[in-house]
């Protein structure tokens, strides 16, 4: 069949296939035979998202995908996964009534169906499972008003899918039970209990079984390599996190890339002290104060905020010596909101899937810093030279309207006036924004098309529009898949700017051709 291909920003493509089986066929082919520059391929209910390394590679991929006709893979033995379930969910009776069957018949259908893990999304370890035999599929509508808190281990149904919530989170699936089977373990290889392609069986267990599994805290692994204590946190401000380059390439397990929200500022701080660009450092909002336990070479970039060493203000961007016993403080920002503190050698922190980044949506990575925490650094052997003077790449003004360039689609046709409805008005950043997304306020966008959109892959920069009509610009800790239409996607070059916009900032979108 001929697949529709939509641009998702400048470095990703959404292949619209219309059927889960076709999406899985394309996903299997592209996983086995990646395109040049392919960074990620994410299957969803009826689409495949292909993420590339550059604009040029995305253009070439679009041409290649236009003529691609993957063949059905030969049958192979799938890995079998058994999931224990206590069938006592709050929506069990109502779901049975919706399907016109009894409670016992619903349980018999759920346990008697052979499920196939189709794709990951929403959270690490959250696997969308579909009946291997389409004839056994039953469509279950989501709740009209999602719950603000679904406990980890909850077993839910939505549309034709079944899944287990790996951690406590909001959710609109109908809950029919709870499982003691852990869905995610950061210390395991691989960490996800269910992976795409696995055969899944649900087995009823007695109500007296204690449900203790799940990943309420995703956590991090032990430190890798030698390190030494360097800084003590005296005041962590509003939020201080360990961040690095991120952990891309794990979308199939529901894991997003994460990493520094303003990458240009993070890379500049590391460059100033002679670290590799992706070395771990501290991302801070709301001020920070640290005390040196050893002589340390440091640099601060990002928000236009006063930086003082032992009470004396120093310029942003350049490397400075913080002597043992001295203090470094970052004050209130005059423009921007995120500051980056790099230490020569790089912050030493536990790693999950190759990264020390803290993902605030999934809980992966180190806990947010608190007063009294000790930061360790790697020995600075073999690093580049520190730079006494350096540039601070911040591109945000405190009193101007910030322009974010975007590519229309992939779902701009779902809105009256299309992408012009987004670009034709001014928006204001709300206090509910965070590393997951920039939440905007303004005149709501009006739908041209009603109904639910099957879950499909998203990238950082996607401008998703929930039912209330005000957009959300996904940032570094966005979910892997989403079920609301994306009207446009901010280009990667402007994501650093978006990450520096505090509440009250004014934003205008401009279409990028």
Greater model confidence, 513 or 364:
364
What token pair was written down for 458?
Answer: 């998203």
Greater model confidence, 212 or 260:
260
DSSP letter string, 443-495: SPPPBSS-SPPPPEE--TTEEE--TTS--EEE-TT--SEESS-EEEEE-GGGH
Q: What average pLDDT does range 38-56 have in this prediction?
A: 95
Judged against a pLDDT cut of 70, whether residue 77 lies above it is answered with no
**CA distance linking residue 200 with residue 458, whole number of Å:** 26
Collapsing DSSP to helix, strand or coil, 307 comes out as strand
Residue 76's pLDDT is 60
Residue 146's pLDDT is 79
Give pTM, 2 decimals. 0.91
**CA distance linking residue 282 with residue 364, whole number of Å:** 16
Q: What average pLDDT does range 329-358 have in this prediction?
A: 96
Q: How confident is the model at residue 399 (pLDDT cuts 50, 70, 90)?
A: confident
Q: What average pLDDT does range 139-147 have in this prediction?
A: 85
* β pairing state of 288-292 and 327-330: antiparallel
Residue 215's pLDDT is 45
DSSP letter string, 337-360: EEEEEEETT-EE---BTTB----T
pLDDT digits (tens, 9 = 90+) for 404-452: 999 999 999 999 999 999 999 999 999 999 999 999 999 999 999 987 7
CB atoms under 10 Å from CB of 199, counted, come to 17
Residue 217's pLDDT is 45
Greater model confidence, 322 or 45:
322
pLDDT digits (tens, 9 = 90+) for 173-229: 999 999 998 999 888 888 999 988 899 999 999 864 444 444 444 555 667 678 999
**CA distance linking residue 366 with residue 354, whole number of Å:** 13
Percent of the chain whose pLDDT exceeds 70: 95
Q: What angle do CA 297, 282, 255 make, to 5 degrees?
A: 140
What token pair was written down for 362?
Answer: 């999934």
pLDDT digits (tens, 9 = 90+) for 266-315: 999 999 999 999 999 999 999 999 999 999 999 999 999 999 999 999 99
| Closest alpha carbon to 442 in 509, 512, 497 | 509
**CA distance linking residue 229 with residue 211, whole number of Å:** 39
Task: Give all strands (DSSP E) within 214-352, no chain letters.
Answer: 228-235, 239-243, 281-285, 288-292, 296-304, 307-309, 312-314, 320-322, 327-330, 335-343, 347-348
pLDDT digits (tens, 9 = 90+) for 306-343: 999 999 999 999 999 999 999 999 999 999 999 999 99
Percent of the chain whose pLDDT exceeds 90: 77
**CA distance linking residue 367 with residue 449, whole number of Å:** 42
What token pair was written down for 122?
Answer: 């929403």
**CA distance linking residue 209 with residue 11, whole number of Å:** 48
In the block, tokens 């077993």 appear at: 155
Q: How confident is the model at residue 73 (pLDDT cuts 50, 70, 90)?
A: low
In the block, tokens 């070479």 appear at: 297
**CA distance linking residue 325 with residue 289, whole number of Å:** 13
């Amino acid at each position: 069949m001929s697949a529709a291909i939509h641009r998702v920003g400048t470095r990703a493509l959404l292949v619209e296939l219309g059927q889960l089986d076709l999406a899985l066929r394309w996903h299997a082919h592209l996983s086995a035979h990646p395109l040049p520059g392919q960074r990620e391929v994410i299957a969803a209910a009826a689409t495949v998202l292909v993420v590339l390394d550059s604009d040029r590679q995305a253009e070439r991929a679009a041409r290649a995908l236009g003529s691609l006709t993957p063949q059905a893979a030969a049958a192979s033995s799938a890995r079998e996964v058994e999931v224990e379930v206590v069938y006592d969910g709050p929506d069990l009776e109502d779901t049975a009534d919706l399907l016109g069957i009894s409670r016992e018949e619903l349980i018999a259908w759920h346990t008697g169906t052979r499920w196939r893990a189709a794709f990951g999304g929403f959270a690490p370890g959250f696997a969308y499972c579909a009946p291997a035999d389409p004839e056994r599929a039953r469509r279950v509508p989501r709740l009209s008003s999602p719950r603000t808190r679904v406990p980890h281990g909850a077993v839910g149904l939505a549309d034709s899918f079944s899944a287990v919530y790996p951690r406590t989170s909001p959710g609109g699936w109908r809950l029919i039970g709870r499982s003691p089977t852990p869905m995610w373990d950061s210390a395991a290889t691989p960490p996800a209990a269910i992976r795409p392609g696995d055969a899944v069986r649900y087995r009823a267990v007695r109500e007296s079984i204690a449900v203790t599994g799940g990943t309420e805290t995703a956590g991090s692994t032990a430190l890798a390599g030698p390190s030494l204590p360097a800084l003590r946190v005296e005041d962590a401000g509003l939020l201080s996190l360990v961040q690095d380059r991120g952990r891309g390439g794990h979308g199939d397990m529901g894991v997003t890339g994460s990493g520094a929200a303003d990458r240009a500022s993070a890379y500049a701080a590391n460059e100033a002290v002679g670290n590799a660009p992706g070395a771990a450092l501290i991302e801070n909002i709301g001020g920070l104060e640290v005390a040196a336990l050893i002589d340390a070479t440091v640099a601060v970039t990002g928000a236009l905020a006063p930086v003082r060493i032992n009470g004396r203000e120093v310029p942003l961007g350049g490397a400075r010596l913080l002597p043992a016993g001295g203090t470094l403080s970052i004050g209130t920002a005059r423009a921007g909101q995120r500051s980056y503190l790099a230490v020569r050698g790089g912050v030493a922190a536990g790693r999950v899937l190759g990264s020390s980044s803290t993902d605030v949506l999934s809980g992966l990575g180190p806990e947010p810093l608190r007063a009294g925490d000790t930061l360790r650094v790697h020995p600075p052997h073999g690093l580049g030279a520190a730079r006494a003077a350096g540039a601070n790449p911040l591109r945000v003004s405190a009193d101007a309207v910030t322009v974010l360039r975007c590519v229309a689609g992939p779902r701009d046709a779902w809105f009256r006036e299309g992408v012009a409805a987004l670009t034709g008005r001014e928006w204001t950043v709300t206090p509910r924004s965070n590393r997951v997304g920039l939440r905007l306020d303004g005149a709501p966008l009006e739908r041209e098309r009603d109904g639910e959109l099957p879950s499909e892959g998203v990238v950082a920069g996607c401008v998703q529009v929930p039912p209330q009509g005000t957009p959300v610009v996904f940032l570094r800790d966005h979910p892997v898949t989403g079920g609301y239409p994306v009207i446009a996607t901010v280009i990667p070059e402007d994501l650093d700017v978006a990450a520096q916009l505090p509440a009250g900032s004014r934003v205008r979108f401009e279409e990028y051709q």
